[in-house]
Amino acid sequence: MQALLRVSKGIDALNEFIGRIAYWLVPLVVAVGVWNTMTRYIGRATGQILGSNFYIEAQWYLFTLIAFLGGAYNLLHNEHVRVDVLYGSWSPRQKAWANLIGALLILIPFCVLIIYFSWPAITNSWQIRESSPDPGGLPRYPIKTIIPIAFGLLIAQGISEIIKNAAFLSGQGSFMEEHNESKAL
């Protein structure tokens, strides 16, 4: 179990690092959004076209990166959305069981299905070097690649959560106390 816990810590460290990258993209997406807004209004006032589809698409590409790369980070830090009606009153042991079963039966299969069904569209996008239909837009194929990467990171974090919950249930892990509350799916 100790070897698995080391694997779990490695996965956690990876998703912590990637989550911090996503965190630092937030000011960048805000800056691009401010730029888009300023150029639109200044352009209207001066009768010039100052904005471009490049910046509009860059803004939503950055937002996509933040949302997709932040998913595993959110799971790691128990920041994901859940309905807490029953879960909140459960004991740490009941929460660990719910987390373990949820990761095995819901989280990981869902992520695998997303990767499986998105793969043909992603490979096709790369084959045709899909680009934006708008003038000055960005290529679409690189951003579509984030789908399997993000869901792969989410699978890895799900595995980490399974390991930590199994360790807790077997009396070999104390992650529940370290986080003051179990992570839920």
Q: What is the pLDDT along the chain (185 residues), one digit of tens a residue?
A: 889 999 999 999 999 999 999 999 999 999 999 998 898 888 888 888 777 889 889 999 999 999 999 999 999 998 877 667 787 788 889 888 988 999 999 999 999 999 999 999 999 999 999 999 988 889 999 999 999 999 999 999 999 999 999 999 988 876 554 554 444 44
Has residue 144 been placed in a domain? yes
> In this predicted structure, what is the pLDDT of residue 176?
53
By CB neighbour count within 10 A (0-12 exposed, 13-18 middle, 19+ buried), where does 89 fall? Answer: exposed
In a domain, 169, yes or no: yes
What is the model's pLDDT at position 148?
A: 97
Instruction: Compute the 3-state secondary structure of the chain and give helix, strand, coil in percent, each to the nearest 5.
Output: 75, 0, 25
Please tell me the total count of domains within the chain: 1
In a domain, 95, yes or no: yes
CA distance 169 to 141: 43
In a domain, 40, yes or no: yes
Tell me the H-state helices in 47-145.
53-76, 92-102, 108-127, 141-144
d(CA 181, CA 78): 9
Has residue 185 been placed in a domain?
A: no
Domain assignment present for residue 120? The answer is yes
* Residue 183 domain-assigned (yes or no): no
- Residue 23 domain boundaries: 2-178
Contacts of 84 (CB under 8 A, 6+ apart): 184
User: Smallest Cα–Cα separation from 67: which of 102, 18, 33?
Assistant: 18
* pTM, 2 dp: 0.84
7: burial class by Cβ within 10 Å (0-12, 13-18, 19+)? Answer: middle
Shortest CA distance to 169 belongs to which of 93, 95, 98? 93
Other beta carbons less than 10 A from residue 119's beta carbon = 12
Nearest to 146 by CA among 20, 49, 18, 40: 18
Is 91 inside a domain boundary?
Answer: yes
